[in-house]
Amino acid sequence: RFNSLPRVAIIQLKRFSYSNGLRRKLDTFVDYPTDELDLSGLLSSSNKEKAIYDLIAVSNHIGSIASGHYTAYARQEPNVD
């Protein structure tokens, strides 16, 4: 449990496995909410704050364990006039 969480959370998912000296890329689908990810359950019971996060950007690896490239996607803030 954490006493507090940061204003910005960066989450990295392990997408490779290592077994018996062999490496392979994991292709398991990950369903992640784009809005209102609630991490309040990670806070200590004495902390009653909400820890709600919105997804802002994603970095993806396309290819195999041996080669490929990375792409990134970011949410554009709406124009507020």
The CA-atom distances, in angstroms, between 8 and each of 49, 52, 55 are 15, 10, 10
Give the pLDDT of residue 79: 67
Per-residue pLDDT tens over the stretch 12-45 = 988 889 899 888 888 889 898 999 999 999 999 8
- Whole-model pTM over 0.75: no
Q: Are 32 and 55 in contact (CB under 8 A)?
A: yes
- Sequence-ordered list of residues with C-beta below 8 angstroms from that of 60, at least 6 positions apart, any chain: 70, 71, 72, 73
Give the pLDDT of residue 81: 63
Per-residue pLDDT tens over the stretch 38-71 = 999 999 988 888 899 999 999 998 888 889 999 9
